Structure 1
Amino acid sequence: MRTPHRSLVALALGGSLVLAGCGSSSDDGGSGSTASGGDTKVAAVIKGLDNPFFQAMEQGIDEQADQDGVDATVQAAQSITDTTGQSDKLTALAQQDYGCFVVNPISGSNLVNGLARISASDTPVVNIDSPVDADAAEEAGVDIATYIGTDNTEAGGKAGDEMVEAVSSGKVALVGGISGDVTSNARLDGFTQAVDGKLDVVQTVAADWERQKALTAATTLMQDNPDLKGFFAANDDMGLGIVQAVKNAGKADSITVISVDGNKDALQSVKDGDLHATVAQYPYAIGQLGVQACEKAAAGDDLPAEIVSPTAVVTSGVADQALAKFPAPFESFDNPLD
């Protein structure tokens, strides 16, 4: 069985990943979209579209499907914490006739039961962005054809390197997503490793990936640590909440904020000089690669166990370029699925 693991692969986005049109639909209060095409039928279940990261992922899935003539259906959870709702959507889709499934689980195990049913029918599963827990998958007999996503430790490390360059010394605080989340932990670990011996990490808190919670947490952290020099946030929504907290405290000139994702609001904030930097990880490209991998898996082609999607540090010097290319990467990268 091929299950997710971490290894560094150099990738690049080939010319086949370009824009095309898409349509949308929804059911029972959830969100999703449908792209009509040819014989290959792909179902994708992703996290909540309340977050722009997953909006871009959905766009990448739809547009790649339209370009390649793939019949794709995308269903999304009501929010990025709706584990039960997301599981129910996968269970419903698993009862239908799809040639491949793309899954972006909210937690490592919330989709395992539905995936077990899919794997029992020998239908390939492509896991994107957030890994299915390898132990839970093995126990349930889930076979993952490939994992496609950011090397989150590397992304956090890039943010740490940028923070060291920006502030050189002093105290920094970290704001993670949901406590215990694999993706959040990897980014925090990567950042901590990069600043070890150079900056003093005074506290790490969880803000559940949410902007308002991050604003509140940052406000408290600044009160507790009046000499704080920087914040690292594990996603852009939280980073933008921290930016607002820093402004509210009148410390925009003395506190540096760096986050991860590269969503459009964050890129604009970088351009405007509010957010110092974001480590862009291109959910649009992840969505496109997910469709391409499903096409190959459905055709019986072999896939690498893992495909690491690109990341890039976006500072004010390249923010215009990143905005002009959004949601696609502004730097080229090799696509092993072309």
Structure 2
Amino acid sequence: MYNKMFKTKVGAAALAAVVVASPAFAEGEYGILMKTLANPFWGAMGQGVEDGAMAAGVEYFIQAVESDQAAESQLNVCNTMLERSPVAMITAAINSTNLLPCLRAAQEAGIKVVDLDGNLDPAILAAEGIEITFRIGSNNVLAGAQGAEYMVGQLGADATGPVLVIEGLSGNITGQMRATGFAEKLAELAPGLEIVASLPGDWDRGKAANITNDILTRNPDLVGIFAANDGMALGAVESVFAAGKAGDVIIIGVDGNSDAVKSISEGRLTASVAQLPYLVGQQAVENVKVAIDGGEVESQIIVPTLVLTKEVMDAGTEPLLAFVK
């Protein structure tokens, strides 16, 4: 049996949380703590969780907060989740520290803890004495590097010009790794492409649009933008088009969410390094069941990524396209 997912909107007064669950507690259920289901990335991952739970025959419930920045609310939701005494907690922390008290309590209660999408810093976990069952997600450094490889492939290894990097939320390891992977690979492949600004966009589309507008004003010859997620990349798209520079700037995001797919198909966003969140959610649940049943699970499970472009989508021959939701 499994709990069928449904969508609902809950205001900030209701703990700013979206809850997907059956009213009654179930024995042996899995608790899934995400960031925000308002983000298509996490929505696709939630669908993967649902399908993975159905395939594994397990009970589960999902909780999420109202935004990618609601760190305190997420800790409150995590603590509430503990009251249900799940056998496992699959968590996508907003940053590497906000859930530490809750994760420590889960560990003391014998609950298996999973790092969903690689949001927890291993060094911080070790310093706190917190052991996780496994972490699952894409290789974020590699995702950033793939973005750089694609940009250089479009502009040429001998290209010159300014490039903007829009980072994620300050202190979030996922965004840091993506930005680092991009910057290091860009410097290696095309030294003439200079990163003139690398600024935190806080996973926010509007803030990314403002950053892009400001950098375009200072650098009207901007040739490329790499954003650490698709929402920010789409904000950058808005500013580039508003400035009349459509086609002049390569814009690359990360995630491969439904909004990005639509924008790419319309010829607006250039590309997205698709993280295949559906596959991450599905495999997270399947591997938790293996671990609970006493089987062997790798401590780090890497889910592949795909550079999603209009050409790739139009061709339709890439097998991983089946997991782009």
Partner residue in 2 for 1:30: 17
CA distance in 2, matches of 1:76, 1:180: 20
Classify the secondary structure of the residue corresponding to 2:151: helix
CA distance in 1, matches of 2:245, 2:223: 10
CA distance in 2, matches of 1:210, 1:266: 14
1:24–1:315 CA distance, 2 compared to 1 (3 A): closer
Partner residue in 1 for 2:83: 95
CA contact (8 A) 1:112 1:132 kept: no
More helix by share: 2
Structure 1 residue 179, shift from structure 2 partner: 2.2
CA RMSD of aligned residues (A): 2.5
1:248-282, Cα deviation, whole Å (9 max, x unpaired): 00000211111111011111211111111110001
Partner residue in 2 for 1:13: none
The alignment status of 1:317 with 2:305, answered yes or no, reads: no
Partner residue in 2 for 1:84: 72
1:162-196, Cα deviation, whole Å (9 max, x unpaired): 10111221221111111232111111111111211
The alignment status of 1:190 with 2:198, answered yes or no, reads: no
CA distance in 1, matches of 2:279, 2:316: 14
The match for 1:172 among 156, 163, 185 is 163
Structure 1 residue 139, shift from structure 2 partner: 4.0
Partner residue in 2 for 1:10: none
Classify the secondary structure of the residue corresponding to 2:280: helix
Partner residue in 2 for 1:301: 295
CA contact (8 A) 1:261 1:279 kept: yes
Deviates more, 1:294-303 or 1:209-218: 294-303
The match for 1:105 among 93, 108, 119 is 93
Classify the secondary structure of the residue corresponding to 1:252: coil
CA contact (8 A) 1:112 1:136 kept: no
Deviates more, 1:193-202 or 1:275-284: 193-202
CA contact (8 A) 2:163 2:194 kept: yes
Matches of residues 1-338 of structure 1 in structure 2 within 5 Å? 22-23=5-6, 28=14, 29-34=16-21, 40-168=28-156, 169-170=159-160, 171-196=162-187, 197-320=191-314, 328-329=322-323
**Letter of the 1:289 counterpart:** Q
CA distance in 1, matches of 2:89, 2:50: 14
Q: Normalised by the size of structure 2, how large is the TM-score?
A: 0.89
Aligned length: 311
CA contact (8 A) 1:64 1:288 kept: yes
Classify the secondary structure of the residue corresponding to 1:204: strand
1:248–1:272 CA distance, 2 compared to 1 (3 A): same
Q: Normalised by the size of structure 1, how large is the TM-score?
A: 0.85
CA contact (8 A) 1:30 1:78 kept: yes
Please, which runs of 5 or more residues in structure 1 have no aligned partner? 1-19, 331-338
Classify the secondary structure of the residue corresponding to 1:228: coil
